[in-house]
Homo-oligomer: A and B are copies of this chain.
């Protein structure tokens, strides 16, 4: 422990780091300019579009999108101001906070999905051959597995 990272590993990190920055900057930028939606807008509208009745309780939306409850709350407020969704409460459970997609929200996500898919294809998938795609999936799952274990392992 305490010793550094060797040159080979550093090259991996540098490439990965640089790619991440540029890739996400570009993807969120073109999503915004072409659809008027931010990344969190897109994630939330997609979850609501796929939910029965276009409605989800806050904690369910939080599970699907993996947003912290506070982050989700703030974002839902901003989105409701823009008319993309409405915030309602259930009559039978006063604690429930339900988000419901509006026609404008539906229109926005319907228009955005094909563009988003083209972005993903063009800037990620088309840059990789089949072997690289398979490797990227494996790598992503391996890293994810390591992260999941952190809570399970002793600490």
Contact = CB atoms under 8 A, between A and B. Distances in A.
Which secondary structure dominates chain A's binding surface? helix
A139 B136 contact: yes
Interface stretch (A51-59, A103-111, A141-149): A141-149
A63 interface: no
Given A4-B117, A24-B20, A123 B137 contact: no
Interface stretch (A73-81, A85-93, A126-134): A126-134
| Count of identical protomers in the assembly | 2
A15 interface: yes
Nearest to A129: B142
Interface residues of A, number: 49
B16 A136 contact: yes
A15 B137 contact: yes
Given A13-B124, A132-B138, A2 B143 contact: no
Contacts of A5: 117, 120-121, 125
Given A123-B147, A126-B146, A146-B127, A12 B118 contact: no
